[in-house]
Structure formats: C-alpha cells, structure tokens
C-alpha cells in the first residue's frame, strides 16, 4: 500500500479477552495474558509499517468495577508488561505516552509510567499511547474545567473558545485524531473511548477476539481503510462530476 494511504494514527479497542478464554474453558486471566502478547506484536507491526501513532485501549475507568481479583490480575499484568516492554520500546525508538487518570493506578505502576515517559520522550519512531483508567467523558470535563479557569482568570474571553482550544486541552493534545479505529470481538460501541477525537475516524469492527488478532488482521484492517472514501462532509467527487456534466 502506498505510504500516503496508510493511516497516520490507529486506535484499537482491544476487546474479547474474557470470551476467548471462556470458549476454551480457561480462566479470564488467560485471555488477558494472551491479549498482552497480541498488543506487543501489533505495536511492533505498526512500528515496522511506519504508522506514526498507535493508541491502545487497555483499561477503562469503568473497568475498575470488575471483580477485585480480575482488576488486581490486570494491574499485575500491566506492571510486568511495563518492566519488559518499556526496555523494548526504548530500544526500538518508540515514544511512550499514556492517557487516562495516572493517579488512579497503583503507585509502582505510576512510577514505571513516568520513567517510561521520560526515557522515551526524545524518540522519533512510533508513538504508543496506552489508555489506562481512561474515560473520554471525564477527559472532556477536565478540558472544560481548564478552559473555564482561563476565562475566569481573564486570559481568554468565552467568545474566543474554539475547537482547537478544546482539542489542545485534551490529553491527546498535539496528536492527530485517529484515522482508523479497530474494535475486536464484534461489539458496535465506543465504550467511552476518544469521543471527541473519533469524529471523522473510519471504524472497522472485526469479529475476532483480541487474543486471536494477528499482524495479518491488522494489515486487512489497513487495507479496508485504504479503500474507504473519506469525504469529511463533501459530496462524492465522482458522483458530483457525473451530476454536473451528465
């Protein structure tokens, strides 16, 4: 595929770990373990392809309401992942960032994340954004508060508030909106993920569970994306031409 048709930013809702395990009569934990392996593979594939930004939805704000032992297993898994993967991330010139409430996470994980962020901030390859304890509505509320404070202090007037200002007040500030959103395991919903940023994103819902998602599935989603006609509200150019000249 020509480089200009590649998505610049891919966002993924990595869903279906539990169902994958359930179908194999395994505990949900096993699905999460396999899921982490897939996320490693997909990150490398994106780096190899020259994708610039990859956002992985790893843990939502709402996921805290799962059973205690599932949540603590996920935190342990995340902690191990950061130990192993941050070294790999740095070695391969990947820039690491997170979006979501850092302070909700266990303190040891917070430290690892801060260290990873510092260590990799000058890297120039793929940027990996991990969404952890993330809620898009909460992120938007935070942005509203930031802007309201600036109005209150007289730095800007309320008439000056514009879309760019809102974008710049989100945790994804400076990062282009996703071009392609992939959700695995066949659910047709956004589950409080990047509600502002996905306004014009192409959505690709795949039936596979995340632990079965391979590099080939990624390539297939990119291919589907490449064949989409992104109109951003304009009329389809071919149809418009026929109507004017025909």
Where in the sequence numbering do the catalytic residues fall?
A: 15, 63
Choice from 111, 189, 230, 231 touching ligand IPE (CB under 6 A): 189
The conformation of residue 184, written as its DSSP 8-state character, comes to -
SS3 label, residue 16: coil
Kindly identify the residues of this chain, within the stretch 55-114, that bind ligand IPE according to CB under 6 A: 57-60, 63, 74
CB-nearer residue toward Mg ion: 15 or 85: 15
CB-nearer residue toward Mg ion: 6 or 78: 78
Choice from 6, 7, 9, 15 touching ligand IPE (CB under 6 A): 15
CA dist 243 and 246 (Å) reads 5
158-161: which pairs have CB atoms within 8 A and are 24 or more residues apart? none
Two structure tokens written together for 147: 């802007």
Measured from the CB of residue 57, what is the shortest distance to Mg ion in angstroms?
Answer: 10
Choice from 10, 15, 45, 112 touching Mg ion (CB under 5 A): 15
Two structure tokens written together for 219: 């390539």
Partnered with residue 139 across adjacent β-strands are none
Q: Is the dihedral of CA 203, 204, 208, 212 positive or negative?
A: negative
Q: Confirm or reject binding of residue 129 to ligand IPE (CB under 6 A).
A: no
CB-nearer residue toward ligand IPE: 162 or 214: 214
The rounded radius of gyration (Å) of the Cα atoms in the chain is: 19
Burial bucket for residue 69 (CB in 10 Å: 0-12, 13-18, 19+): exposed
Residue showing tokens 């942005």: 143
Pick the stretch among 11-19, 37-45, 145-153, 173-181 that binds ligand IPE (CB under 6 A): 11-19
- CA nearest neighbour of 197 among 182, 219, 175, 218: 175
Measured from the CB of residue 191, what is the shortest distance to Mg ion in angstroms?
Answer: 8
CB-nearer residue toward Mg ion: 20 or 81: 20
**Positions in the binding site for Mg ion (CB under 5 A):** 15
In the complex, the residues that contact ligand IPE under the rule CB under 6 A are 13-19, 57-60, 63, 74, 185, 187, 189, 191
């Amino acid at each position: 595929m020509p480089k200009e048709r590649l998505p610049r930013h891919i966002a993924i809702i990595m869903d279906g770990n539990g169902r994958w395990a359930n179908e194999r009569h395994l505990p949900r934990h096993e699905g999460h373990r396999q899921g982490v392996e897939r996320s490693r593979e997909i990150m490398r594939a994106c780096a190899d392809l020259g994708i610039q930004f990859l956002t992985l939805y790893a843990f939502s704000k709402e996921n805290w309401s799962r059973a205690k032992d599932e949540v603590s297993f996920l935190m342990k898994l995340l902690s191990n992942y950061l130990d192993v993967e941050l070294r790999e991330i740095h070695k391969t010139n990947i820039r690491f960032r997170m979006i979501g409430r850092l302070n909700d996470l266990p303190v040891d994980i917070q430290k690892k994340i801060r260290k990873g962020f510092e260590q990799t901030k000058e890297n120039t390859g793929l940027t990996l954004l991990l969404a952890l304890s993330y809620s898009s509505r909460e992120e938007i509320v935070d942005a509203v508060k930031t802007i309201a404070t600036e109005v209150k202090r007289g730095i800007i007037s309320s008439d000056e508030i514009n879309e760019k200002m809102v974008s710049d007040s989100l945790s994804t500030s400076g990062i282009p909106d996703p071009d392609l959103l992939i959700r695995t395991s066949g659910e047709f919903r956004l589950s409080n993920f990047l509600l502002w940023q996905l306004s014009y994103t192409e959505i690709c819902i795949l039936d596979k569970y995340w632990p079965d998602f391979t590099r080939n599935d990624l390539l297939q989603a990119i291919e589907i994306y490449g064949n989409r006609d992104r109109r951003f509200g304009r009329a389809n150019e071919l149809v418009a031409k026929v109507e004017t000249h025909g």
